[in-house]
Every structure is written in C-alpha cells, then in structure tokens.
C-alpha cells in the first residue's frame, strides 16, 4: 500500500501519518517508498539516527522538525512527539515520521501507530533497512552462515539483560545482535561468560555504521571490556557476538589470528 490520501470528517479535512524507516544512515539505503512519502510530505518529524543530511531536497515541500533524542536527554519527549504528529495530521497535513532503521525495531513505532489510532488518523508504516542487519553487513559480518549459525537474536541493551535472557542466549548458541548495548556491555559480557559462553567467542562492535567514521572493533568475549575501553567505543554502535564475526576476516590469516587471541583486537576502518 502506498501513502494514503486525506479524508474528511465533517468540515475538517484530516491528514495522514506515514511512519517511515529511514534505514541505517546511508541515503541509498532509503527505500523507494520512503523517498515517495518524503516527497509528498507537508511535515517531517525526524530522529537523530534518521538520515537527515539531504532532507530538505528529499522533502522539498515539508516543514522539517528535529525531534531527535540523544542518550540521556530528550529534546522532545515521546509524548510530545506523538502530540506533534497528531496535531499536524488533525490540521490536514501529510505527516512523515522519519525514524532510523526500521520503525518497528526498537523505534517506538508501534506506540506512534497506537497514538494515531486513538485519534482516528490513518497511518501507514514503511519498513526500513534495520541497523541490526545492515551495520554488521557493512563491516563484512553476515548474521547467519550455513553450518555456523542458523539463527540470530536482536536484543536491546538499553537495560541490562536478565539472567534468564543471558542463559537463553547462551543455550541458543547462535548469533546475538545488541542495539543500544554500549552502556550495558559489562553486564552482557560478564553475564554470557557466567552462563558458560566460551571466552574466545568473537565479538564485534561497529560504531557509526555507514558514516565516514564507521569503525569496527573486534575482540573476544573475555577481552571485550578492556578492548572497548581502550578503543573508546561509543554509541551508536551495533554489537555482534558469535562465530559469524570470524567471517569478516575470511582469507585474511593475520586478522583471523588476531580474533583468535583473547588479549588483542583488530580495528577495521
């Protein structure tokens, strides 16, 4: 389904909301549906991790509103964002709510859909390329590989993982992808070790995917805390724990050797 047209309730012409996944930051990873919705938008409410460099030309007819949230500070609260979105739609505007990655992957997209439903506003969701898959791929890491990992779990590190979660992930034995996980890296790494995951399990931390300063830091579960501290790893970053990390180095014997040694690491620019 494409962007919806306005409809009328009584004398008021009600607009629409389109929740658009903007992808992981590369302008060419915006979908055609995303570009179309932006071109037709009257108002764009965009997040910090949404691709915003070229927004004025992508949405030439729109008022652009930065509602970006930074760790620890919320320029516009979630309720405030929903109110803005509803207010503009009720005023008859075609509102695009542009988010980083995919709107339904830790994007609070479903809360915004519910806010539209509560206010009788037609809402469409345009899926985006999620950083959970694309950022590891940008560092050469596939999340699955026949014979190595046939599943992956994408988990939020916003709050520390519980013992049950850590145990379940260890038992599953497949790829783990953590978003918003830099702050809780200590509980993640120590917890996985405590539940029996081998200390030489490779870990990759990919910061600022698709930006000119993208950086991948690779280590092992037992070394990752020290390595992340000395490398000065910061958010936004995607963490990957699993044997698939080795595939980023296939054919590069020296780098494979680095991954195999717990006390050292490789930084791949």
**Of 89-97, 127-135, 188-196, 217-225, which segment contacts ligand SAH by CB under 6 A?**
127-135
Residue count, binding to ligand SAH (CB under 6 A)? 24
Q: Given candidates 106, 152, 249, 265, which one binds ligand SAH under the rule CB under 6 A?
A: 106
* 54 among known catalytic residues: no
Q: Tokens representing 104?
A: 């339904």
Q: Is the dihedral of CA 145, 146, 147, 150 positive or negative?
A: positive
Q: Given candidates 19, 49, 58, 227, which one binds ligand SAH under the rule CB under 6 A?
A: 49
105 near ligand SAH, judged by CB under 6 A:
yes
Contact 239, 181 (CB under 8 A): yes
Q: Which is nearer to ligand SAH, 75 or 199 (CB)?
A: 75
For helices 185-194 and 163-172, the axis angle rounded to 10 degrees is 60
* Catalytically annotated residue among 42, 47, 93, 197: 47
Distance CA 245, CA 232 (A): 20
Going through 23-62 in order, the beta strands assigned E by DSSP cover 43-46
* 180 among known catalytic residues: yes
Q: Given candidates 15, 202, 209, 242, which one binds ligand SAH under the rule CB under 6 A?
A: 209
Distance CA 47, CA 196 (A): 38
* Catalytically annotated residue among 85, 180, 197, 201: 180
Q: Given candidates 236, 244, 248, 259, which one binds ligand SAH under the rule CB under 6 A?
A: 236
* 102 among known catalytic residues: no
Residues 6+ apart with CB under 8 A from 146: none
Q: What is the largest CA-CA distance in the chain?
A: 70
152 near ligand SAH, judged by CB under 6 A:
no
Strands 175-179 and 152-156, bridge-based pairing: parallel
What are the catalytic residues?
Answer: 47, 69, 180
Residues engaged in binding ligand SAH (CB under 6 A) = 24-25, 49, 99-102, 105-107, 130-132, 135, 179-180, 206, 208-210, 235-238
């Amino acid at each position: 389904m494409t962007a919806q047209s306005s409809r009328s309730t009584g004398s008021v012409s009600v607009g629409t909301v389109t929740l658009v996944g903007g992808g992981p930051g590369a302008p060419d990873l915006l979908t055609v549906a995303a570009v179309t919705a932006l071109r037709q938008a009257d108002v764009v409410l965009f997040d910090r991790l949404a691709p915003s460099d070229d927004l004025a030309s992508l949405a030439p007819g729109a008022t652009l509103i930065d509602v970006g949230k930074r760790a620890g500070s919320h320029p516009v609260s979630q309720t405030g964002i929903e109110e803005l979105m509803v207010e503009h739609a009720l005023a008859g505007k075609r509102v695009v709510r542009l988010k980083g990655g995919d709107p339904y992957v830790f994007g609070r997209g479903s809360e915004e859909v519910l806010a539209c439903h509560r206010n009788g506003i037609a809402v469409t969701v345009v899926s985006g390329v999620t950083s959970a898959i694309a950022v590891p791929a940008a560092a050469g890491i596939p999340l699955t590989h026949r014979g190595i990992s046939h599943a992956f779990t994408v988990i939020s590190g916003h709050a520390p993982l519980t013992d049950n979660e850590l145990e379940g992930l260890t038992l599953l034995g497949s790829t783990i992808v953590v978003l918003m996980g830099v702050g809780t890296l200590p509980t993640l790494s120590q917890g996985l070790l405590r539940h029996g995951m081998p200390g030489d399990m490779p870990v990759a931390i990919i910061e600022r995917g698709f930006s000119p300063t993208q950086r991948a830091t690779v280590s092992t579960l037992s070394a990752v805390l020290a390595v992340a501290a000395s490398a000065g790893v910061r958010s936004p970053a995607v963490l990957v724990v699993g044997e698939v990390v080795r595939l980023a180095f296939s054919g590069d014997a020296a780098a494979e050797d680095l991954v195999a040694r717990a006390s050292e690491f490789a930084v791949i620019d």
